[in-house]
Structure 1
Amino acid sequence: MKSSILSFIWLASEKLLRIFTGVFVGLWLARYLGPAQYGVYMYALAWVGLFNGIAWFGVGDNVIRSLVRNPGSDDEVLGAAFAIRLVGSCAAGVLAVAGLYLSGRHEPALLELVILMSLAIPFAETPAVIFLFFQSKLAIAVPVMLQNGVRVAAAGLRIAMILGGCSLAWFGAAVLAEAVGIFIVLLGLYLVRGGSVLRWTYRWSAIRSMLVQGTPIAVAAVIASLAARIDQLMLGWFTDFVQVGMYGAALRFSEFWWTFAPILMNSLSPKYVFNIDDPQLMRRNIMRIKAAMLGIGLAPVLLILLVGDYAIPLLLGQQYAAALPVLYVHIFIAVFIFFDAPLAHYLLATNRQAQLIWKSVFLLAANTVLNLWLVPAHGAVGAALATLCAYALTLLVFYRLVRGYRDLGQLQTGALACLWRLARGRERWRSG
C-alpha cells in the first residue's frame, strides 16, 4: 500500500505542475491571444489530439501488466512497445496534417500550428515507453522530477513568448520544444541507470502479441478521443473560433481534473487489480475503488461552483464572460470520468478490452447526435451539455441495457452501496 501511495504522490506532482502550465500559463495565453486566436489554438490541439490513439496504439497499461507479470522480459517488452509507438506516432503526425488539408481548413495560422504540434507527437509518445518501465517498478521519483523540470522550463518559455509579444505560431513551436525536452531527459535517465536501447529486441511475435492486446484499446482510444473532441471540432465547424475560444477557456478550469483519474488508477492497479487472481476479490477491490473515485470526483465540482463566478472574470477578463455557463455545465463531467475510470482497468485485467470499443462507439454516437442538435442553437453551452449527457447515458443506460456490460452496471451499484456503508461507518478498506 505504501508503494502505491508514493507512486500516486509522484504522479500527482507531475499533474499538479501540469495544472500550473495548463491553467495558469494557459489562461494567461488565453487572455493574451483573445477568444478568436485562442480558439484557433484550441482547435489545433483538439485536431492533433484526435490522432493520439493511433500514436500510442493501445501500448500503455498492458506494458505495465506485462512487465509486472513477466519479470526478465523487459528488453522484449520495451522493444515491442517502442516499435509500435514509433510507427504509430509517425503515422499519426502525417494523418493529422493530411487530414486537416483534405478537410478544407486551409487557414494559414491553423495549418502552421497543426504541423508544429504533429512534429511533436513522436517525441511525446516514444519516451512514454521508458516512463512505463519505471512506473512498473514503482520507481518514478526521478523520472517525474526530470519531467517536471522540463515542464517548468517550457512554462517559462511560453511566458517569455507572451511577454515578448510572439505570434500564434510560436506557441505551436513551444509544444514541440517541450516534447523534445522530455524525450531527451527520459532517454538519458534510462541510459544512466544502466539501460540500453541496443539490448531491446524487436521480435515479431512480441509485437504481434502486443498489437493483439492493444488494438481494441487503440480503437477505443481513437473513438473516445473523437468523442472527447467532437464538441470543439463541431463548434469550429458550425459556429466560429470565438465560440471555440470560450469553450477552451472553460476547459482550462474543468478538464485538467480528469487527468487525476488515470493517475490514481495507474497507482492502484498494479497491486489491487492486475496482481489479483481471485475474481471475487478483484470485483470487491474495483467496487471500493469506484466508491472512492466517486467521492473524489465531486471535489472539483464543489470547488468550481464556489469560485467560478470570480475566477473567470479575474483571470481572463470580461472578454471571456460567456465562458462561465459553459464551465458550470462542463465541470460535472468530472464525476462520470472518475466513477468510470476503474472499469477500463477491470476489463483489461479480465481480457475484455475489446468491450471498450463498443462503449466508446456508443459515447461517440450519443455525443455526435447531441452536438448536432445543441451546438447550432446554443453554441459553446450546447457543446458542454451534449458531452455531459453523452457520459450520463453511457454510464447509466448503456451499462445496464446492453448484454455483456451488465456486470459493469452491477459493479456501479455495488460501489454505491459500498459508499453508503462507508458513510455510515460500516465499511473499511480491505484487500488481499
Structure 2
Amino acid sequence: MSTDPPGASPRVLLDTLIARSRGKGLRAIAGNTGWLLGEKVWRALLAALVTAWVARYLGPTNYASIAYALAIVTFFGPVAQLGISNLIVRDLAREPGAAGEIIGTGVVLRMGAGLLGLVGAIAFLFATDPTATGRLVGALIAGQLVFQSAEVIDCWFQSRLESRYGVRLRLVVSLVMSALKVGLILAKMPLWTFALAISLEFGLTAAAIAAAYLWHGQSVGWRFSAHRARGLLHEGLPFMASALAIAIYMRFDQVLLRQIDGVEALGIFAAIVPLAQVWQIVPVSIVASLTPVIAREAEKGPEAYAQALRAMFLLLGALSLAIALLIAVAAGPAVNLLLGQAYAGAVPALRVYGFTNIPVALGLAWNVWATISGKGKLLLINTVAGSVVSLIANLALIPRYGVMGAAVAANLSYFTSALLINYVTCRDMFFLQLGIVRKVRVAE
C-alpha cells in the first residue's frame, strides 16, 4: 500500500515517480519526455497538412459536417475520459503490484463512460442536425469515444517510463491513416469514408496498444475494484470538469457558427484553425525543455525562481508574438496554397485567430508554475473563466460578424483563461507574465 497522500501536488507526484524509478533515473525520464514530445510535434505537423488537404477536397460545406461532429464529440470527450488518466499513471507508479486491478478498473470505467458518451453524442447530433449525411458522419466519428478506453493500457507504459512503445505504435498508425486519407482523396471517395477513417485510427491505435501490452509479457489478468473505482471517480471529477470547460471554450464557437451563420461558415472556420494551432508545437517544445530548469531554480529560492519564470514568460511571449505576426503576413498565400480559393474569405479571420498563440504560450508557461508550486487547483478556475467568456463573446459576436466574430471571441476567451483571470486569482503571476516582478511570492 502507498503511504503517499491522496491529495498530493503534481510536484510531489513527480518526485514520487522519480523515487520509484531509481533504476532508470533522470535520463530515462528525459528520454520518455522526448518520445512524448516528438510524437506531438510529428502528429501535429502531419495532421495539419492532411487536414488541410481533406478540407480542400471536401469543400467548406462537406467539411463542416466533419467539423461539427468533432466539436460535439469534443464536448462529450471529457465525460468519456472521466479525468482519470493521470490518476491511473500515478497509481501504477505507486503500486506496480496492483497493476491488474488498476488497469482493469480503469478499462471498465472508461469503456462504460465511452459508451455513455457515444450515446449522448449521437443523441445530440440527431437532435441538432436534420440531415441524414450529417447524422451518419457524426455517428461514425463518435465511435472514437469507446476506442479511447485503450488509453488506460497506455498508462501502464507511461508509469514505467516506457512511452516509446506507445508512441511508436501511434506514429505508425498515424502514418498509415494519413496515407489512407490521401488515398481516399485521390480515389474521390464520399464524405462518410473520411468520418469512418477518423474513428478507424482510434480503433487501430487501441488494438496496437493492447497488442504491445501483451507482447511485453503482460497477461491480461485484470480485475475490477469497486473501491478503487469510487476513488478514481471522486478524484477525477475536478479534472473532468476542467476538461469540459476547456472543450466549451475551444469548440463552442464552431457549434454556434453552424447554428447561426450556416454550415459553410463552420467549414471555413474549422479549416483555418489548424493552420494557426500547428504553431503551438513551438511553445510546447520549449516548455518541455525548460521545465526541469525552472524546477531547479525553484530550489534555489524565491528570487531565482521568479527571475527564471520571468525569463520564460518573456521568451515565450516574444516567440508567440512573432508567430502571430508571421501568420498575419503569410495567411493569404497559406490559405490559397493549402485550402484553395473556396476558403479565401477566411484569410482575415486566420490573421486574427493567429494571435491566440500568445495566450496559449503564456498559459503553457503558467502551467509550469502551477505544477511546480502545487497550484493545480487554479487550473479549474482559469478554464471555467475562459469558457464563460467564450460563451458570452461568441453569442455576442458571431450573429453580427460571423467567422471573424468567432476568431475575436477565441482571442478573448484564451487571453482571459491564460492571463487576465490571474489578475484576480494570483496577481503576482499576472504581472510576472507581463515581465514585471512586483513581489517575490511565486513559490508560496
1:45 to 48, 70, 79: 70
> Structure 1 residue 411 and structure 2 residue 429: aligned?
yes
Conserved? CA contact 1:272–1:282, under 8 Å: no
CA distance in 2, matches of 1:261, 1:196: 40
Are 1:310 and 2:328 counterparts? no
| 2:50 is the counterpart of 1:25 | yes
Structure 2 CA distance for partners of 1:342 and 1:417, relative to 1, 3 Å? closer
Q: How does 1:206-217 map to 2 (within 5 A)?
A: 206-217=228-239
- Matched residues in 1 for 2:368 and 2:82: separation? 16
Matches of residues 175-194 of structure 1 in structure 2 within 5 Å?
175-194=198-217
TM-score (norm 1): 0.84
1:15-34 deviation digits (Å, cap 9, x = unpaired): 23323442221111111111
Q: 1:48 to 1:24 in 2, by over 3 A?
A: same
- Residue 204 of structure 1 aligns with which residue? 226
Structure 1 residue 397 displacement after superposition:
3.0
Q: Which residue of 1 aligns with 2:14?
A: none
Is 1:170 aligned with 2:188? no
Structure 2 CA distance for aligned equivalents of residues 5 and 13 of structure 1: 12
Q: Is the 8 A contact 1:4 1:268 kept in 2?
A: no
Shift of 1:69: 4.5
Name the SS of the counterpart of 1:197 in structure 2: coil
Q: Which runs of 5+ in 1 are unaligned?
A: 420-432
Q: 1:59 to 1:394 in 2, by over 3 A?
A: same
Secondary structure of residue in 1 paired with 2:143: helix
Letter in 2 for 1:410: D
Contact 1:97 1:114 in 2 (8 A): yes
2:398 counterpart of 1:375: yes
Preserved CA contact (<8 Å) 1:15 1:260: no
Counterparts in 2 of 1:296 and 1:197: CA distance versus 1, 3 Å: farther
Q: How far is 1:281 from its partner? A: 11
**Quick one: structure 1 residues 147 and 31, their matched pair in 2 at CA, closer, same or farther if it must change by over 3 Å?**
same
Correspondence list, 1:155-166, <5 A: 155-166=178-189
**1:199-278 mapped onto 2 (5 Å cutoff):** 200-258=222-280
Corresponding residue for residue 131 of structure 2: 107
Q: Is the 8 A contact 2:173 2:204 kept in 1?
A: yes
Matched residue SS, 1:79: helix
Asked if the contact 1:217–1:354 (Cα under 8 Å) also holds between the matched residues in 2, the reply is no
Cα shift at 1:411: 3.2
What's the RMSD between the two structures over aligned residues?
3.3
Q: Is contact 2:419–2:430 with CA below 8 Å preserved after alignment? A: no
Report the Cα distance in structure 2 between the residues aligned to 1:49 and 1:393, rounded to whole angstroms: 21
On the 8 A contact 1:93/1:119 being kept in 2, the answer is: yes
Asked whether 1:13 is paired with 2:38, we answer: yes
Question: Hey, what's the Cα distance between the residues in 2 that align with 1:359 and 1:18?
Answer: 27
Are the equivalent residues in 1 in contact too, given 2:60–2:263 (CA < 8 A)? yes
**Structure 1 contact 257–300 (Cα < 8 Å) conserved:** yes
Task: Check whether the contact 1:7–1:140 (CA below 8 A) recurs between aligned residues.
Answer: yes
* Gap change, CA 1:133 and 1:257, over 3 Å in 2: farther
Single out whichever of 170-179 and 71-80 deviates more from structure 2: 71-80
Question: In the TM superposition, what is the alpha-carbon distance from 1:267 to its structure 2 partner?
Answer: 8.2
Distance 1:230 1:168 in 2: 23
State whether structure 2 residue 399 is matched by structure 1 residue 362: no
- The residue identity in structure 2 corresponding to 1:161 is L
Aligned length: 411
CA drift of 1:382 comes to 0.7
Q: Secondary structure at the match of 1:202?
A: coil
Inter-partner Cα distance in structure 2 for 1:72 and 1:268: 33
Q: Larger deviation: 279-288 or 209-218?
A: 279-288
Measured after TM superposition, the shift of residue 142 of structure 1 is 2.6
> Is contact 1:262-1:341 (8 Å) kept?
yes
Q: Classify 1:144/1:58 alpha carbon distance in 2 versus 1 (closer, same or farther; 3 Å).
A: same
Secondary structure of 1:16 counterpart? helix
Structure 2 residue runs of 5 or longer lacking an equivalent are 1-25, 438-444
- Does 1:35 find its partner at 2:60? yes
93-102 or 8-17: which moved more? 8-17
Taking only the aligned residue pairs, the percentage that are identical comes to 26
Aligned-pair distance for 1:117? 0.9
Q: Which deviates more from structure 2 when the two are superposed, residues 351-360 or residues 44-53? A: 351-360
Letter in 2 for 1:340: G
1:72 to 1:88, Cα distance in 2 relative to 1, 3 A: same
Q: What is the rounded CA distance, in whole Å, between the counterparts of 2:172 and 2:84 in structure 1?
A: 25
Partner of 1:340: 363
Matched-pair contact (CA < 8 Å) for 2:249–2:413: no
Distance 1:316 1:397, change over 3 A: closer
- Superposed CA deviations along residues 8-67 of structure 1, whole A, max 9, x for unmatched, are 432233223323442221111111111111122211111111111111111233333334
How far is the alpha carbon of 1:80 from its aligned partner?
A: 3.1
Give, in whole Å, the separation in 1 of the partners of 2:32 and 2:316. Answer: 17
Say whether residues 1:97 and 2:115 are aligned partners: no
Equivalent residue in structure 2 for 1:87, among 99, 102, 112: 112
Q: What's the CA shift for 1:298? A: 4.4
Is the 1:227–1:364 contact (alpha carbons within 8 Å) kept by the matching residues of 2? yes
1:223–1:360 CA contact under 8 A, matched in 2: yes
